[in-house]
Structure 1
């Protein structure tokens, strides 16, 4: 396990779910963590948990779809810890339930998903990568999804956004491949987070999802966090431009 003492990670959407688990994983390896979230209280709670375990963390409110907010977030991370080595673009939303057909999706809701999931990823990289370069290089991990590989019939905005994240990731990886910044994406399957709570409220849907997942269980945020932090670590020093699903075998089925 790579020791990340002296390194600094910035995690968006760090106030809950996969983001919180990722922040805790970074801290457990010795990195200082700037926890960013639209929900400041959630980010502060993550930072509190890190501090209680003996780590270093700070929290900041961010709207990843707003460039000024993202720029300020990166500046706060550098001001707090003196450098930036890793960025995890985890913040994301969905606009509609999984069974909502395209013709019933509101355009503004569709655009909001793209603003957060795609523009937010772009803006995070735009403002964080220059600081990562100043620190001598590092890594970026963007959160895609299995729906960025295999679309579903409902909620076209989410699937569209996650396909776009994969394209952004590959473009950035090629741009910075010789400059010391590696860029990868991960594709979580069905993970127990606040975003998926509605799914688990429906017993029939829950049973179906378990049945079509080869491992017959759902993932936990900590399982995705370990993959994310591995991709940021020196153990992944020859890995860039890739997409790595963690889906219990979903895409293999």
Structure 2
């Protein structure tokens, strides 16, 4: 049974990593997709791949740090499909190889981290919720992180942004739960994706990541995508305002 048959879903950061894996899983579940990313070439390639399998999907290049572009994405989805049922606010950036501590953290990096990882989610939520209210509700998942629940040295921009995503998620659940909108966050741990390949390429970091995870390994993008699809499905109908850790047990230590 396809859990999301004919549901209309927006996925940001869809061209690679967790977003790409989510797009594949949503398509497998029968969803109609509006995909967004800054990488137009990779987005177009993904659309071509999905359409070759008979999926109903389109791509729109979107910088989530721009509120107008977030609104335009939602407008395009509603124009194309007539409604919006699900959204996965996944687009994000990392600090890259571990930068200096807080007092030496570049101000331009801070501004960009907050603009994409926090404001980008906020802008998406504003537009998505309006569209969902018009058709009686919907389900939203935001990409947080283990860094949204603990402190991690050397990455203040990332930690602050992801803590903000957790707060926004809970706020939306409280504000709109009575109007049939569910909003949850997925909190990935160490996941093998292009975004962190520079960090994971350092043997000491990879070994540290694996040794601090009870599962004894880093996770895959597909494992995160499975959580997102479940959270958007009716099987999660009473799950709202939750932060769903997908970290191999890291936060349980």
Structure 1 position 93, deviation (Å): 0.9
Which residue in the other structure is 1:10 paired with?
10
Alignment deviations for residues 169-224 of structure 1 (CA, whole Å, 9 cap, x no partner): 00011011100110000100011111110122111211121111111111110100
8 Å CA contact retained: 2:2, 2:28: no
How far apart in 2 are the matches of 1:21 and 1:74?
Answer: 21
Deviations 1:55-104 (A, max 9, x none): 11100000101111111111111122221100110001123533521122
Residue 191 of structure 1 pairs with residue 191 of structure 2: yes
Q: Secondary structure at the match of 1:231?
A: helix
Gapped runs of 5+ residues in structure 1? none
Q: Say if 1:35 and 1:46, in contact at 8 Å, map to a contact too.
A: no
Q: TM-score, normalised by structure 2?
A: 0.97
**What does residue range 1-253 of structure 1 map to in structure 2 within 5 Å?**
2-98=2-98, 100-253=100-253
CA offsets 1:11-55 (integer angstroms, 9 cap, x no match): 000011000111111110101011100111122222222112221
How many residues align? The count is: 253
SS in 2 for 1:151: coil
In the alignment, structure 2 segments of 5+ residues that lack a partner are none
SS in 1 for 2:162: helix
CA RMSD of aligned residues (A): 1.2
Q: Please, what TM-score do these two structures have when normalized by structure 1?
A: 0.97
Instruction: Please identify, of 213-222 and 41-50, the stretch whose mean Cα deviation from structure 2 is larger.
Output: 41-50
C-alpha contact (below 8 Å) 2:113/2:157 kept by paired residues: yes
Instruction: Indicate conservation of the 8 Å contact 1:117/1:161, yes or no.
Output: yes
User: Where in structure 1 do 4 or more consecutive aligned residues deviate above 3 Å?
Assistant: none
8 Å Cα contact 1:96/1:105 also seen in 2: no
